Amino acid sequence: MNRQQQKRQTRQRIINSAFTLLDENRSLTAISLREVARAAGIAPTSFYRHFSDINELGLTLVDEAGLALRQLMRQARQRIASGGSVVSISVDTFMEFIVQNRNVFRLLLREHTGTSSAFRAAVMREIQHFTEELSDYIVAHLRLPRKIANLQADAMVRLVFNAGAEALDADVKEVEQIADRVKIQLRFVQLGAVSFNSSNPGL
Amino acid sequence: MNRQQQKRQTRQRIINSAFTLLDENRSLTAISLREVARAAGIAPTSFYRHFSDINELGLTLVDEAGLALRQLMRQARQRIASGGSVVSISVDTFMEFIVQNRNVFRLLLREHTGTSSAFRAAVMREIQHFTEELSDYIVAHLRLPRKIANLQADAMVRLVFNAGAEALDADVKEVEQIADRVKIQLRFVQLGAVSFNSSNPGL
DNA sequence: TAAATTAGCGCACAGTTGTACGCTGAATTT
DNA sequence: AAATTCAGCGTACAACTGTGCGCTAATTTA
């Protein structure tokens, strides 16, 4: 078999194994090189053939998580295009994603407030994409000034991610309740932004 | 010297040392018993005279952090009583607290999404106090129905804590900007809740 | 076919961890 | 004054960590 292929395969096995280890009681900084190697079925020292560091693996995982997140956005956009309440569809899509990619989202959440500033920064970049895209949408469809739209989008993304955090530990029924709650809260923000804009024009 | 006193003193030294270790790159689960003992100036094994476990120390720290948080609330209430914008005063008080108790707040934030479900639960309880108190305030002063007030308070607390998280890594100037931003976002939520209540009476 | 590259391995080492055990000396109680 | 309690210590051990080093065997290149 091809050598590069083989190597890429092993590398992917390392990444997947790492995600598997990121369950409800482990963070990126809490998994050890040896553990990952064990899970991937390679010798500890072979790890270095793929990553110079366990931190490099960490950043790779954050990247992969970001990728998944962008796929989520794309999916939400498609669903929105085919009609329905934007907020409702977005939240539902988001929650669906979380339930199906628990560990991926867990990674983002944990490292968002985690102990490594490099990881924190990497996660914030990924979330920023979300906020920017939402902001564009608000400007285009709700016709609010950029400044207000940015604040609105920022608040909304924060609320949704917070809800997602809660959903991680919740069962199906609870996830539904959380989704309903955040939908109303997002409605608050939206109505409030419009109202604020009316009474503070140009600010 | 009194023996109980002496012991309480050592115990407090352990707690303080632990807080010191919780800087920007360490979480509760990442500090070791030996490290804490070293910082507190006792032998590793002496630790067990005070806590049965490092987890027990962790829960104690969360409790202490919660205590500090409630003091913060009291302080905010006092300042509000002497006049001024409620939101503005609350946010400023909160930010002031964070800057002055970085590690205490860091602890709460980290463990809120951390790897120990026991810690997560403990932190959520503390935050819940905040939300409930704010909810009461909203019902009393803004005359919104309980249901709406709960949702509003929940959203507001989440936004404020999120802003606090950002403030942890920020300098004085940036903290001010963050505070300004969240104040407007809180205004959104408040206006939106009122507006929502008008158009959905009784829901 | 011969030479070079390299993914993966085993061994080794020093450093860290939690914690069991028994001792000591001082404070407290009797 | 004698007996008891107990905070703190030192030693010890097994388990784990990251990583340096040199080997092997298979693929790739020349």
| Sequential DSSP letters for A77-122 | HHHHHT-S-HHHHHHHHHHHHHHHTHHHHHHHHHHHTSS-HHHHHH
Place of tokens 């963070």: A27
Is the model's pLDDT at A24 over the cut of 80?
A: no
Is the model's pLDDT at A80 over the cut of 90?
A: yes
The beta-carbon neighbor of B29 closest among A30, A181, A187 is: A30
pLDDT band (50, 70, 90) for residue B1:
low
Which pLDDT score, from 0 to 100, does residue A201 have?
84
ipTM: 0.93
B82 three-state secondary structure = coil
Which architecture characterizes domain B54-199 according to CATH? Orthogonal Bundle (1.10)
CB atoms within 10 A of CB A158: 23
- Read off the pLDDT of residues B80-101 as tens digits, 9 standing for 90 and up: 999 889 999 999 999 999 999 9
pLDDT band (50, 70, 90) for residue A78:
very high
pLDDT band (50, 70, 90) for residue A124:
very high
What percentage of chain B reaches a pLDDT higher than 90?
93
Mean per-residue pLDDT, B97-119: 94
Which pLDDT score, from 0 to 100, does residue B24 have?
76
Report the alpha-carbon distance of residue A191 to residue A197 in Å, rounded.
10
Which pLDDT score, from 0 to 100, does residue A1 have?
66
Which pLDDT score, from 0 to 100, does residue A23 have?
86
Residues of A in contact with B184 (CB under 8 A): 151, 196
- Read off the pLDDT of residues A173-192 as tens digits, 9 standing for 90 and up: 999 999 999 999 999 999 99
Both tokens of residue A124?
């914030």
pLDDT averaged over every residue in chain B: 95
Distance between B128 CA and the closest CA of chain A, angstroms: 13
Which pLDDT score, from 0 to 100, does residue A2 have?
86
Is the model's pLDDT at B203 over the cut of 80?
A: no
Is the model's pLDDT at B142 over the cut of 80?
A: yes
Is the model's pLDDT at B202 over the cut of 80?
A: no
Residues of A in contact with B169 (CB under 8 A): 117, 120
Both tokens of residue A197?
């804009």
Which nucleotide comes closest to A53 if you measure CA to C1'?
D18
